[in-house]
Amino acid sequence: MQYFHSEERKPTSALADSAEGVYAQAMEQMNSANYPGAIKLFETLQSRYPYGRYAQQAQIETAYAYYKQNEPESALSAVERFIKQYPNSQHVDYAYYLKGLVNFDEDLGLFGEGFQPDVSERNPKAPREAFDAFKDLVTRFPNSKYAADSKLRMQYLVNALARHETQVARYLRRGHNIAAVNRANGVLIEFPQAPATREALQIMVQAYDAMGLKDLRDDSQRVLDKNLAKDGTKPAVNPNPWWKFWKS
């Protein structure tokens, strides 16, 4: 993970107690992966020198240190303070990106080699909040250097959330076919281009069949057959899903 900072300087006796000196010491701790020590120094800097660029940088560096230390609540709190205090900062795009990363809850990188956590098995609250943060970044700062990666993460989140909803629908089919149909239909409406739409349609066919609703079963089967015959899964149920705001 790259984070912004000024040129690193080794503190001298003249700088040791200045904002620049404390910041340099804190960055030394960061570079050594001593996140508790870095956090303490960044907080000291903000307390002693609450104004200026070093205080601003210390705020976002604190958020990143908490993130690396696996303290998401503290990281999010620090990020939110930064966004509120410095809405016009040239680094506010990074703040939204970091907010997304914290909610995404990954340390090795989602697209890192050999590592792809399946958020479809998690509580969807955090993935949705991650999506919202990445969406804010891409919408407000389309030219940000973090925008391309954010879009990739958003697409992954869309597919994962669709899988999550489909898994819930399949579970509900065990004894609540109406609820299963509603949940599966929600996948078609919210995530029409996600691969999970095929399974959602299969669930609807099975649920309608179990309830003896042959006409609805047959209608769902026709949609499923039509999509199986295509390259990809694009049920034409909602041309403007909640997540799709950029042109492909």
State the burial class of residue 185 (Cβ atoms within 10 Å of its Cβ: 0-12, 13-18, 19+).
Answer: middle
Neighbouring C-beta atoms of residue 182, cutoff 10 Å: 14
- Which has the closest alpha carbon to 213: 204, 201, 225, 202? 204
State the burial class of residue 127 (Cβ atoms within 10 Å of its Cβ: 0-12, 13-18, 19+).
Answer: buried
Rounded CA separation 237/219 (Å): 13
pTM of the model: 0.71
Residues with Cβ within 8 Å of residue 147, at least 6 apart in sequence: 93, 137, 138, 141
Helix 214-228 with 197-210: angle, nearest 10 deg: 160
pLDDT in tens, 182-204: 999 999 998 888 899 999 999 99
Place of tokens 């199986």: 228
pLDDT in tens, 1-59: 444 444 444 444 445 678 999 999 999 999 999 999 999 999 999 999 998 889 999 99
3 secondary structure, DSSP code: -
Task: Report helix, strand or coil for 100.
Answer: helix
- Which has the closest alpha carbon to 236: 220, 218, 219, 223? 223
What pLDDT does residue 125 have?
80
| Residue 233 · residue 198 · CB < 8 Å | yes
What pLDDT does residue 167 have?
87
Mean pLDDT, range 64-85, rounded to an integer: 94
pLDDT in tens, 132-181: 999 999 999 999 999 999 999 999 998 988 988 898 888 888 889 999 99
Which structural domains are found in the chain, ordered by start?
1-85 (1.25.40.10)
